[in-house]
Chain A
Amino acid sequence: MSKNFSLMMAGVGGQGLVLLSNIIGTAGAIAGIRVITGEQHGLSQRSGSIQVHLRVGPDVRSPLIPVGSADAILSLEALETLRYIEYLKDGGVAVINKRVMHPVGETGELVNDKTRQYMGLEQVVERVGQVTNHVLTLDALEVARRAGNALTENVALLGAISVLEEFPVPPEPLKGAVARMVPKKAVEVNLKAFRLGAEAARDRFCKELACRGD
């Protein structure tokens, strides 16, 4: 593989974003594909904004993606897509979970101002649409629940993005890494979430973007 690929990942503390990036990295190690990540730890308790820069390819050196250069952004929470929108290149792919988690400060402002409304998915999609035509939304929570555990939302989204031909780490090593990285008793439900996420994505994504064969 000669092309480099940069994926910006965004979410809320507690959604399992760092685990997700470890799964992709471990899949890279399994498949012999060079992956580096720049992660955020430290102050990232539950409920704070979290970002992971993930880079694949022989020439990547910086764990941080240059702005305007990410091939794709994957957000576990819709609002967080906008928070890191500067990284997405024009015409890049945005895979957005439909889930919106309202920050405590925003709720605080709503109770003080009765006319104020929450920012929602529609606004996010409209604004991300100013950067790219490839905005793909998925109700990953619904997929995860169908798989049998709402906490597999992150792996459902991984399944979803794995169908894209452009995504450089193939599904088999990804599944292998999922099986290695999640707790033993949760392997089955996670692999199911991966599969259901991929299925849901095929219905939604493959009309407009090149997908891998089944």
Chain B
Amino acid sequence: MSNEDITSKGPGRAFMMANEAMVRGALEADVKLFAAYPGSPTSEILDAFAETGRQMDLVAEVSSNEKVALETAAGAAMAGLRSMTSMKSVGMNVACDSYFSLAYTGVKGGMVIAMADDPHAHSSQSEQDGRFFGPAAYVPMLEPSDPQEAKDMVKAAFDLSERHGVQVLVRTVTRVNHQSGIVELGELGRTPFKKVPWPHEPTRFITVADRARAFKAGMLGRTAALEKEFESSPFNRIRKDVVPGGKRFEGTGIVASSAGYNYAVEACRLMGLDLPILKLGTTFPLPRRLIFGFIEGLRRVIVVEELSPYLEQNIRALAKDVNPKLEIAGKGPGLFSEALEYNPNIVATVLGKVLGLPTPVDYAGVLERAKRLKEGLPNRPPTFCPGCPHRGTIHALRKALRGVKHVLATDIGCYSMAPLEPLRYGDTLLSMGASLGVAEGLRRSVEEPVVAMIGDSTFLHAGIPGLVNAVHQRADFKLVLLDNAVTAMTGQQHNPASPHEEDDAAQQRIDLDALVKGLGVADVTVIDPYQIKDTPGQIKEALARPGVGVIISRRDCALYGDRNKRRKGEKIVPNKVDKQVCKRAYTCVRDFHCPSISLDADRQASIDPALCDGCMKCAKLCPLGAIQSTQGSMAGRQEGSKGTGQQGTTGGA
């Protein structure tokens, strides 16, 4: 994970994550500007660029949302500089308004958009298949399958973008982004950053009415030229050497791309199958002649792609002309699913079904036995960290509303975990900023009082228009604004309201309180979620007042706060339970659920000093005062401090 490899002079080789390899590829292509909003599974691209921006002569911005990021990159590329942005699948939805128009105006400098889908919805609200953004906008799309390809494709994409005058989409999935491997690095030939004169060509970047119509004609020609180029792209290839000497099925071949390609190769090896594989790396526009050539002589083709039948439908349409009898095995009952991610055994199982062969391992049997062995195994979903301010805010909100039926519209962030086990608190969750719009609809429609909840970064990203609307509509719901100083969930990146650090003095901090008041909210209450005795009363009072009100719950993200403490050399002092005083009231467990608290052999609460953050919330909750700080009784944690940075050094929260 060291940035040294990403910025090394090269050539050389390094073990890196595909996200880091993409940054390396962009640096090798002499990228000049990067702007992005964090989102899993792309956050490490931004993290690596932010780090690189401090060492190298390039602009690296954390934008307020993906649309702004894409537009920032577009501005630079219109001027003629090479630029890049990255975003997760649903971030593309936010950015796509400008993305579609930009495909019309095009760019002068190379521009690359790294967009990552999340099959299995590991850390997303949907399994959206973003490949349709390629054809829908007439934007060329490349799909790497491993870190080496990720680097090579990003590097090549800048050149492709410049030659065809259009942004290039590099589309990945989680299992590509978060795959690490050994990458051959090219030479890093950086040139100094230099501003360029604006070309001043009237209407060059204006798309409306007849300009749009003229651009459209150009886009069709561009797409045809791209297709021609992709016919001989090194990113597409027919492999006939996957299992030399393996079992052959004349007339059967595989078409695969992205992560699906990895699983297809491995499944052939598991099954000892020597099948030809057409590996597609340029998935829009598709190299139709190459595909024609591959399927022409086949009797049967197996299409291995996660999510929608994108390749399959295209192949089906192409086969109609060249090989109408071609049997196409793709999505369908007993074959591949459009849901969830694949793996080698899923692909091997389908190959076995199609070809009438047994799999080397009885996968269903293994899974069945594992299910039995896991009976009674407690779940361990991600949960609020020890010291997390959200735990305090949510505890107080529930206490303030105890006995009052209400509806909570929540939003995207760490607090999205509140509706999950064990807290199970929250009623609606859609997308960034949606809590406010949904709350407006709810307060018009439901009998119960309505509360919306949003984090600082999400509010600045897409929540502001919702609050403007609520004020304008004279709504009467309350917004709980969780201000933890950073974009916590994706790795504690800075957002526009984050406190300044030495190295970002060039940026102006947004004052959240002033912003909210400026939007017309008269009723603003600021609370400290660590003051768990006082907060329920403060919230109750705020909720009782009429009109739109905002309750700002302010306290640093615990991980971010710990990092700052470590930097300043401050110790984190854990709490302990006095076994003489604890009467097993379990106030520190119920509705609180801190990972550092469990029960000891006497079923009394016990605090793990290696996990406790010393936030004192549980101590304030305990009716008997059985929890105290170890301050004075011992010098911080047993190990002295968390100073080794051994934990969470990847920042991939």
Contacts and interface: CB of A to CB of B under 8 A. Distances in A.
Q: Are A and B physically bound partners?
A: yes
Contact of A105 (B265, B490, B593): B593
B506 interface: no
B180 interface: yes
B221 interface: no
A145 B639 CA distance: 8
Nearest to B596: A47
A182 B644 contact: yes
A68 B361 contact: yes
Contacts of A39: 17, 178-180
B40 interface: yes
A200 interface: no
B17 A16 contact: no
Nearest to A155: B646
Contacts of B421: 105
A21 B178 CA distance: 12
A14 interface: yes
A39 B177 CA distance: 9
Contacts of B598: 102, 107, 118
Given A66-B270, A107-B593, A186-B644, A44 B363 contact: no
B380 A47 contact: yes
Given A103-B380, A119-B377, A108 B589 contact: yes
A41 interface: yes
B403 interface: no
Interface string B321-352: 00000000000000000000001110010000
A42 B385 contact: no
Contacts of B367: 67, 86
A12 B380 contact: yes
B380 A67 contact: no
A83 interface: yes
A29 B13 contact: yes
Instruction: Name B's interface SS.
Output: loop
A41 B40 contact: yes
A162 interface: no
Contact of B2 (A13, A66, A86, A181): A181
B162 interface: no
A136 interface: no
A66 to B, nearest CB: 4
Contact of B179 (A13, A38, A42): A38
Contacts of A18: 1, 649-650, 652
A193 B112 CA distance: 44
B146 interface: yes
B281 interface: no
Contacts of A61: 146, 262, 265-266, 269
Contacts of B647: 14-16, 46, 151
A62 B344 contact: yes
Nearest to A180: B2
Contacts of A152: 644, 646
Interface size class of B (residues with CB under 8 A): 35 or more
Interface string A153-191: 011000000000000000000000000111101100110
Contact of B263 (A40, A62, A181): A62
Contacts of B383: 45, 47-48, 104
Contacts of B648: 13-14, 16, 46
A104 B175 contact: no
A101 B1 CA distance: 27
B244 to A, nearest CB: 11
Interface string A103-137: 11111111100100011000000011011000000
A197 interface: no
A108 B122 CA distance: 25
Interface residues of A, number: 80
Interface string B583-615: 000100110011101110001000010110000
B201 to A, nearest CB: 43
A19 interface: yes
Interface in B620-653: 638-639, 642-650, 652-653
A192 to B, nearest CB: 13
Given A61-B262, A183-B644, A22 B180 contact: yes
Given A37-B181, A67-B367, A42 B41 contact: yes
Contacts of A41: 40-41, 43-44, 123, 178, 650, 652
A8 interface: no
A60 B180 contact: no
B593 A42 contact: no
B205 interface: no
B370 A86 contact: yes
Contacts of A19: 1, 646, 649-650
B376 interface: yes
A68 B595 contact: no
Nearest to A107: B598
A66 B361 CA distance: 9
Interface in B550-577: 559
A36 B179 contact: yes
Contacts of A49: 380-381
Contact of B382 (A13, A68, A107, A149): A13
A156 B646 CA distance: 12
A105 B384 CA distance: 12
Which of B490, B559, B644 has most A Cβ within 10 Å? B644
A169 B490 CA distance: 32
Contacts of A1: none
Contacts of B14: 29
Contacts of A150: 610, 638-639
A47 B378 CA distance: 13
Contacts of B292: none
Contacts of A16: 646-649
Interface in B358-377: 361-363, 366-367, 369-370, 373-374, 376-377
Contact of B15 (A13, A22, A64, A65): A22
Contact of B599 (A29, A111, A151): A111
Contacts of B597: 104, 107
17 contacts: A14-B648, A29-B15, A35-B181, A36-B146, A41-B178, A45-B382, A45-B384, A46-B611, A47-B611, A64-B175, A83-B374, A104-B594, A149-B644, A150-B639, A154-B646, A155-B646, A180-B2
- The list of the 6 closest CB pairs from A to B, nearest first, reads A42-B123, A48-B382, A41-B652, A42-B40, A86-B370, A106-B378
Interface of A: 12-16, 18-19, 21-22, 25-26, 28-29, 34-49, 59-69, 79-80, 82-83, 85-86, 89, 101-111, 114, 118-119, 127-128, 130-131, 145, 149-152, 154-155, 180-183, 185-186, 189-190
Given A14-B648, A42-B123, 8 more contacts: A13-B648, A18-B650, A41-B43, A43-B489, A60-B266, A62-B266, A102-B599, A103-B378
